[in-house]
Structure 1
């Protein structure tokens, strides 16, 4: 007797219109299936034999259905555990499934989304004008800043606080569109603590503008927090100078988070916004494939100009970041070594820069990920 059992960890969400969202927390994969297929999957409880299943599932489609479930990794396999490949630069610690909380806040999520969409432009204009007209005063305040243990602690706390508002805004807006947010927790992103939210369920949204609205919600939240901080700073800077400096730090950190998240060359919000604007699941993969195909003379007329621009700008961005990182390292090293070794150190850093750049591009552009 053959028995089939789906993974106990599988989560099923009814998204309406006879469509189910299935989430596998082991592989972190999402599936969109029909109501009938969801009903059939739930029959695979390890107790029903293949003969039993024929009573509920048409015999002519049973074998193909079981094969598809196995290929998708939805079935238990005692000989094989499904594990994600570890990424030391992005270590996630899942804290909760926020769906129950978000379900209770569904109406609030709709109001919150409308508030973000209506208020973001006025707050953005305010932030730009405030910084422009007070630029010299802000620089004067920041000149008094020193890297102390208090500042480091404040920075870590504020990064977590801002990260929470940023990610929870993603979750609220996603839920306002009926998306199931299956995971929320803390992540060490390049060894820096921050929050994360799994909003990959937005791939089930058919409208591009709704997906973009979810992705930009976090940045809009940082924009509002920045404006509030600047207003508070303006009114207390002459009364509580010490506290006002930390309020200014809070505003600047939000400003930096907005800029970093909108950079379209690293896989943050801006990258996914641009991917959706181009209607590509992964714009970097698509662009690299087209450029490589062009070099191999497989594509000549169908290359989109925006792909070429993106490729060139992303490489310039990568080079700039690498050069900046190496220069910062060099500046530190030459302060602690003997002057006679500076020229040798310069050659070493130049070689390091070249090796890193070649490795990065060969892995990303010519790696097996893009092979047919």
Structure 2
């Protein structure tokens, strides 16, 4: 047997091992002895680790790691050993890039932008934005009321140039959000994983691999890296609000696209804080509670209650947490898909007849249901 080609291992600060499956994106944290034992099956490892285990313990460990997919039978053909990344309609990865080497070339810039001085500056701008918005709340409420009553917000009935500017600013904010995570993770861990573009619930999104955060013990630093994207979004919204108010009050220049961008950006930031699907909020809660794979464990527990999958070993005090979280995760999964499919149907209606649009959405629904069935059957969430 050999270690699965997609498995990478890294020693953590507390002398455990972080094991990552690069194909399934699953992460495990195992003890020192188990990590050294597993590393013995790495064909690139020339020095064999001595583990004080008897033959029965070794056989049990081999069986466990084989069933978990961390080890593969070397005697089998390569095609049966190599696992392809499962297609998941909820998270369709379009492309991903290695960025760590590029960041090494701009290390000083990364360190400066994530320094205490810069963070204090970001915080000060956010505070100024909040104070200005509060002191001008009457003016802003009147402006928002005019935008709503005229249909400019909920019907996107704004002039094309403003719409394009808002759209461009939102895209830029998404990129800066992701680089907020990347830069802070680079500062804390010294490296980052791959970044890329994906469709999350069939909506365009960016992602970054911050798995290296599992290798450090400082919970505060972990949360700082995970929260940095949202924090930088608030900073951008504050800049937009400050400029909108000052230009309006001082020069009577009404750049309403700045106000609309600020509102959309704030909405997206709070949307990212939802902890019941794998957005920033989920990872923040996972690290605060120190719960690895909380999403998978909660769904596995829920479906075990329904007698759909085998019952996992769960401590009594954790059952209520997993039950509550699992129910909330299922509800938000349905809500997210409902919102996404409504958006897709609306866009399809612009280019094809309604029956065709409904047919295409129905096909997507069948794919979602089929994948849910498979994921529940094989206990893969």
- Shorter chain as normaliser: what TM range? 0.5 to 0.7
2:85 is matched with 84
Asked whether the 8 Å contact 1:95–1:183 carries over to 2, the reply is yes
Q: Residue 280 of structure 1 contacts residue 286 of structure 1 at CA under 8 Å; is this kept in 2?
A: no
Match of 1:236 among 235, 240, 247: 247
Return the match for 1:186 from 167, 178, 197: 197
Unaligned runs of 5+ in 1: 336-344
- Larger gyration radius, structure 1 or structure 2: 1
* 1:310 aligns with one of 325, 335, 350: 325
User: Given the two structures, how large is their TM-score scaled by the length of structure 1?
Assistant: 0.66
Residue 295 of structure 1: CA displacement?
5.5
Deviation of the 1:24 alpha carbon: 7.3
Paired with 2:8 and 2:376, the residues of 1 have a C-alpha distance of: 37
| 1:258 partnered with 2:256 | no
Question: Aligned with 2:272: secondary structure?
Answer: helix
Q: Which residue of 2 aligns with 1:104?
A: 107
> What whole-Å deviation, never above 9, does each CA across 1:210-229 have from its counterpart, x for those lacking one?
22222111101101111110
| Alpha-carbon spacing, 1:44–1:234, altered in 2? closer, same or farther (3 Å) | same
CA contact (8 A) 1:69 1:75 kept: no
Q: 2: distance between equivalents of 1:332 and 1:60?
A: 60
Relative to structure 1, is the Cα distance of residues 179 and 116 closer, same or farther in structure 2, using a 3 angstrom cutoff? farther
Contact kept in structure 1, 2:93 and 2:196, CA below 8 Å: no
2:70 — aligned with what?
Answer: 72
SS in structure 2 at match of 1:177: helix
Is the 2:21–2:27 Cα contact (8 Å) retained in structure 1? yes
Q: Distance in 2 between matches of 1:127 and 1:83?
A: 53
Q: How far apart are 1:183 and its partner, in Å?
A: 1.5
Question: 2: distance between equivalents of 1:313 and 1:127?
Answer: 37
Q: State the distance in 1 between where 2:332 and 2:3 align.
A: 48
Distance (Å, rounded) in 2 between the aligned partners of 1:302 and 1:131: 49
Instruction: Name the CA distance, whole Å, in 2 between partners of 1:162 and 1:365.
Output: 34
Q: How big is each residue's C-alpha offset from its partner over 1:19-78, in whole Å with a ceiling of 9 and x where there is no partner?
A: 9988776665778898x97xx88x956xx9xxxx5xx547889x98xx899963699985
Q: Deviations over 1:305-342 (max 9, x none)?
A: 4444434444554555566677779999999xxxxxxx
After superposition, the C-alpha distances for 1:188-224 in whole angstroms (9 at most, x for unaligned) are 4455544322112112122333222221111011011
Distance 1:111 1:11, change over 3 A: farther
- TM-score by length of structure 2 reads 0.65
| Count of matched residue pairs | 349
1:135 CA drift (Å): 1.9
Q: Is the 8 A contact 1:156 1:193 kept in 2?
A: no
Q: CA deviation at 1:258?
A: 0.8
Question: Does the CA-based 8 Å contact 1:222-1:255 persist in structure 2?
Answer: yes
SS in 1 for 2:379: helix
Contact 1:179 1:202 in 2 (8 A): no
Structure 1: how far apart are the matches of 2:18 and 2:333? 37
CA deviations 1:98-123 (Å, max 9, x no partner) are: 34515713632343785389559736
RMSD between superposed Cα atoms in Å: 5.5
Provide the rounded CA distance (Å) in 1 between the counterparts of 2:225 and 2:4. 31
